[in-house]
Structure 1
Amino acid sequence: MSAYWSTGVDLPNLQQPALARLTDFVTPLEHVFFLRHMAMPEIDRASWRLAIGGLVEHELLLSLADLEAMPQTEICAVHECAGHPLHPTVPVRRVANVVWRGVRLSEVLKRARVAPDARFVWSYGADKGDYHGVDIPAYVKDMPVSELHGEAMLATHMNSEPLSGKHGGPVRLVVPGFYGTNSTKWLVRLALSDTRSPGYFTTVMYNDRVVKDGLEQLSPVWRVAPHAVMVQPAEQARLTPGKQKIVGWAWGADAITRVEVSTDAGASWAAAQLDAREDHAWQRFEFEWTPPSLGTYQLRCRAFDSTGVGQPEHGVRNAVFSISITVE
């Protein structure tokens, strides 16, 4: 499952990833999506270095061996694409649940001694080039220092395997609970700053337009909104009569506390059985249903997180998910 965000992107195809493959709690590497904005850089692992500077007392230049010598940590976390940056309201539902291994970002920043007035971490990737006619000198994202809790890491492994080039290796930033666009691939530099980055992917791309106090404002695409999808049955499945089991995954920056399923195109909803969250992983839900008759049904699911926020019906990247199935 791979894609390149190009101007000729086929939006209908983007809305239909192979969700039926995602039946494992930990997504196999061959089913983890791969996306890039520009050409994928070639990086030599032996000569790779990570520069850390800006508002710090001690600038650092770390090799892969330096990172591997530091205390290692693992976290299982859902990894979700925020969608096409030119079409932010189109749900693409590219998602995986993986085990990351690496060094906590807090461990590295502790050694650099971050200045008290630092408010943002700018992360630079090695990828650069033309993006829809705009010359990008380097892919740059930023994150508030206040949001970077102990879970953020410099990842060197995915599912126990060294991080491959196509997934951002040898090292990428991983920020559990935030959309994948913030987990900068091919990481080569971190800079601490008291302001947000002026980069194209922070000021133009990956910003949602929201209305607050009657004024339209740009809101950075950071925290993952509540989301749920069904992986069983699959879209357009043909089922035999009798008891059916609807199975899926739910996730968000905050733990999901309720998932509801509709078997009548949203006319009515019922609560599904929901597993508790582990780390920042997705949560399995299950719903048993016996179709009352033969025919075509539209099944829907929606998630609600611990703050009470749920999924809107339409017009957003985490719109309510639905599939059509036939009982025959």
Structure 2
Amino acid sequence: MIRTDPRTPDLFITPVDEVFIRNHLGPHPRLDPETWSLTVEGLVERPLRLDFPAIQGLPQVHFTAVHECFGNPLRPHVPTRAVTNLEWAGIPLAAVLELAGLRPQAQHVWLEGADSGDFAGESGLNYLKDLPLDQASADVVLAHTMNGEPLRPDHGYPLRAVAPRMFGTNSVKWLSRIVLAADRPDHLFTTRLYTRVLPGESQARPVREKDVSSKLLTPDDGRPIPAGSRELAGYAWSSTEVTSVEIAVDDADWQPAVLDRRGPDLAWQRFRLRYDLAPGPHRIRCRATDSAGRVQPLTGDRNAVHEIHVVAETGMRPAER
């Protein structure tokens, strides 16, 4: 896998120690792989109970993908910018569904975690998400490895779903149960939270495909930097390929950045622009466009353009921080 110089702040692969952790239902469950199992039930011909060795014995896949938190489901338009790029290994969900055999009525896949608790005034909840069968079969991987090491307990050990084109809310941790159903489940995390009305639409839809987004990582936000020629750089990502990134400094026009092409996986794409920064304070913004024609909004939504503020100083050596 491609990695940038580990001395730089914008690693292509995010170290596990720096991956964000989000739990809705209190402390994460402590699962023993010796007793844990995954059940597959509902509209299937052969209900399954798979232990961890059975999971490991199925055909494995490896891939790199952006993993992004959608944000607080009670405040769906507030930017969060919790995002990582990770190497995963596991088994395609499609392989498990093939073992179970699907009945013709099956249209939806329910993914349930072992975590339980209270959230937003409701009690006794398990974390549950659902996806259309065709989408889940094509994209979802049941992952047991992150960045070459077994999942850590707070990242879903021993097994989690990974939906690489979608927000992290769909990548259910501590996966314990898969249900094939004819309909969507009515649940706090499926039909009442994690829904939103997209621009130009009037009906709320489930939070699934990632927005087009970008984030500046170089230079460091809020830190003094040497005046003069500087590289402005970061990463852009989407549920599809990002086709362009622009950067604006202060009130100057948007300028096209050099953008790396996306590889065969769903990893983020690095962008960079060399710019001559005059001494003084500066506001730097980045804006991405994807192959679906979506453009980051300037303000007002969770993927609004990212901006940083720096002060360029004369007489400062490049190595100083």
CA distance in 2, matches of 1:136, 1:274: 47
Where does 1:1-328 land on structure 2 (aligned, <5 Å)? 23-39=10-26, 40-210=28-198, 216-265=202-251, 267-278=252-263, 279-291=265-277, 293-328=278-313
- In the TM superposition, what is the alpha-carbon distance from 1:237 to its structure 2 partner? 2.1
Would the alpha carbon gap of residues 208 and 136 (structure 1) be closer, same or farther in structure 2, given more than 3 Å must change?
Answer: farther
Instruction: Say if 1:21 and 1:31, in contact at 8 Å, map to a contact too.
Output: no
The change in CA–CA distance for 1:248 and 1:218 in structure 2 (over 3 A counts) is: same
- How far off is 1:21 after superposition? 8.0
Residue 230 of structure 1 aligns to a residue in which SS? strand
Unaligned runs of 5+ in 2: 1-6, 314-321
| C-alpha distance in 2 between matches for 1:201 and 1:170 | 22
Change over 3 Å in CA distance of 1:71–1:83 after alignment to 2: same
Amino acid in structure 2 at the alignment position of 1:35: R
Q: Distance in 2 between matches of 1:22 and 1:61?
A: 43
For residue 53 of structure 1, report the CA deviation from its aligned partner: 1.0
Structure 1 unaligned regions, length at least 5: 1-19
Q: Deviations over 1:8-61 (max 9, x none)?
A: xxxxxxxxxxxx985111111101111100121111111111010111111111
Alignment-mate amino acid for residue 128 of structure 1: S
Comparing 225-234 and 310-319, the one that deviates more: 310-319
CA contact (8 A) 1:22 1:31 kept: no
CA distance in 2, matches of 1:256, 1:209: 23
Across the aligned residues of Structure 1 and Structure 2, the Cα RMSD in angstroms comes to 1.6
For the residue of structure 2 that corresponds to 1:243, the secondary structure is: strand
Q: Which shows bigger deviation, 293-302 or 76-85? A: 293-302
Q: Distance in 2 between matches of 1:210 and 1:307?
A: 14
The structural deviation recorded for 1:219 is 1.3
Q: TM-score, normalised by structure 2?
A: 0.91
Could you say if the C-alpha distance between residues 76 and 211 of structure 1 is closer, same or farther in structure 2, counting changes exceeding 3 Å?
closer
Percent identical pairs in the alignment equals: 39
Q: Return the TM-score normalized by structure 1.
A: 0.90
Shift of 1:239: 1.7
Give the whole-Å Cα distance in 1 for the aligned partners of 2:120 and 2:104: 38
How far 1:247 moved relative to its partner?
1.1
2:203 partner SS: strand
* 2: CA distance, partners of 1:314 / 1:185: 32
C-alpha distance in 2 between matches for 1:21 and 1:245: 13
Distance across 2 between alignment mates of 1:284 and 1:83: 23
Q: Secondary structure at the match of 1:35?
A: coil
Match of 2:228, as an amino acid? G
Q: Which digits, 9 at most, give the CA deviation of each residue in 1:224-266, with x for residues without a partner?
A: 000000110011121212110011000010010111111124x
Q: Which amino acid in the other structure matches residue 301 of structure 2?
A: V
